[in-house]
Amino acid sequence: MKLETMTMPRLLSTLLLMALMSLPVQADNLGWVDLFNGKNLEGWTQRNGTATYRIEGDSIVGKTAEGSPNSFLCTDKLYSDFELKFDVKVDNELNSGVQIRSQNQGGTPDGRVNGPQVEIAINGTAGYVYGEAAGGWMTPDELRQTHTHFKEEQWNSYHVKAVGARIMVWLNGKLISDLVDEDKLQSHPKGFIGLQVHGIGAGSGPYEVRWRNLQLRDLSEYQSLFNGKNLEGWTTQGNWSVQADGSLLIQPREGEMGWQRYDAYIWSNKKYKDFILDLEYTYPPGGNSGIFFRVGDTADPVKQGIEAQVLDTFGNESALGAHDHGGVISTVGPTKNMSAAPHQWNRMVIQCVGSQLMIELNGQQIVDIDLSSTPVKDRPSEGFIGLQDHGQPNNLRFRNLRILEL
């Protein structure tokens, strides 16, 4: 159909649909993109060493070469703030690692690869952070306690988050390292991801290491919604205060109960339409709150916006509904109970693109729904973001509120 024959409303609708269809891959999966296309090593370049890399099924397989120094298969693209997920399986005789924010010495393609490395090993150090050709262990000696979370001759799942000077590493769901290194951020603020095949001596090997499910979420373009110092950019008549640790505390006053005190909520001064919202929060036992978005009128957010439920449902094994943690009020419940225990930090990622809503809670996608077929289909497509004051005794804390507008 020719565009010039369309009416103006139909033309605008068509152009909007075309714009949504042209969004990058991350608009469909909470920002995660595949680093390995499953077919070839396009987007990767080998640096240093003579180990070999091949594709086998859904995996990249690195194989040692006798007498070779450390080899690295590196992304052509550089990353600063990001999350990285991958599975790895390694021969017991081989030590390996994944480089992050790494670079070549002298800036030349064949220069020595150097930078932070997430350790892969069976000796109890897996998940700690090492400075490859960059000063040795970054995880301090006193925090580098041996553990048994790495499974020998099995697939192991890693999750790495690097934001600013902080690098966090989870191994098989267990937080292994939570490191802040300002010096390394200065020397290595940005760099490639690299898959290491460790060098071996003469007369040994060959050994192999395998990687699969390599996914990355680029966090470098996110904007901070809360500066950790004051309420700049927000409006509230309620009980919100900034704490010394940079978190935002909601502490209801004596006798304040119930959820229908909309001026006590805290509201962004800016409206948002299509976005990925990323935030962390912690609650006391029984804590109850909500994350509102696309609220057209803050005087009536229940009918003029969408709410993702925040609720202490830790340990709940009953059927989940829209009022359980991570559920969308009046719409759908979470597919899984991912609530952290009281006083532990939860992380929620909310993505809205058109009528499509996706929610991730503590690393697990729990909601994927088209709002056009739900009771909230007529809610505004653009609006304010807000955090709910549900009344006593809900002293909740929020931090690291960031957003990427799509």
Tens-place pLDDT, residues 124-170: 999 999 999 999 999 999 999 999 999 999 999 999 999 999 999 99
Lowest-pLDDT range of 26-40, 103-117, 214-228, 318-332: 26-40
**Architecture category of domain 224-405 in CATH:** Sandwich (2.60)
| Class of CATH domain 28-218 | mainly beta
User: How many of the other CB atoms lie within 10 Å of CB of 106?
Assistant: 9
The mean per-residue pLDDT over the stretch 242-254 comes to: 92
Residue 28 has a pLDDT of: 53
Query: Residue 72: pLDDT above 90?
Result: yes
The mean per-residue pLDDT over the stretch 236-254 comes to: 92
**Where residue 257 falls among pLDDT bands split at 50, 70, 90?**
confident
The two domains 28-218 and 224-405 share their CATH topology (first three levels equal)? yes
**Separation CA 393–CA 251 (nearest Å):** 8
Query: Residue 37: pLDDT above 70?
Result: yes
Phi, psi for residue 373 in degrees, rounded to 5: -110, 20
The mean per-residue pLDDT over the stretch 15-20 comes to: 40
More confident residue, 139 or 12: 139
Place of tokens 């993505």: 351
Adjacent-strand bridge partners of 174: 171
**Separation CA 197–CA 68 (nearest Å):** 10
Domain ranges across the chain: 28-218, 224-405
Residue 76 has a pLDDT of: 96
The mean per-residue pLDDT over the stretch 177-199 comes to: 96
User: What's 34's DSSP letter?
Assistant: E
Kindly give, in sequence order, each residue whose CB lies less than 8 Å from that of residue 120, ignoring residues fewer than 6 positions away. 88, 90, 95, 96, 97, 98, 126, 150, 156, 196, 209
Tell me: the pLDDT tens digits for 269-300?
Answer: 999 999 999 999 999 999 999 999 999 999 99
Tell me: the pLDDT tens digits for 299-308?
Answer: 999 999 999 9
**Separation CA 267–CA 300 (nearest Å):** 12
Q: Is 287 exposed, middle or buried (0-12, 13-18, 19+ CB in 10 A)?
A: buried
3-state secondary structure of 142: helix
Tell me: the pLDDT tens digits for 311-359?
Answer: 999 998 889 999 999 999 999 999 999 999 999 999 999 999 999 999 9
User: How many of the other CB atoms lie within 10 Å of CB of 10?
Assistant: 12
Torsion of CA 188, 189, 190, 196, to 10 degrees: 40
The mean per-residue pLDDT over the stretch 79-102 comes to: 97
Query: Residue 19: pLDDT above 60?
Result: no
**For the chain, what percent of residues have pLDDT higher than 90?**
83
DSSP string, 66-123: BT---EEEEESS-BSSEEEEEEEEE-TT--EEEEEEEEEGGG-TTSPEEEEEEEE-SS
Adjacent-strand bridge partners of 350: 277, 359
User: How many of the other CB atoms lie within 10 Å of CB of 2?
Assistant: 5
Residue 25 has a pLDDT of: 37
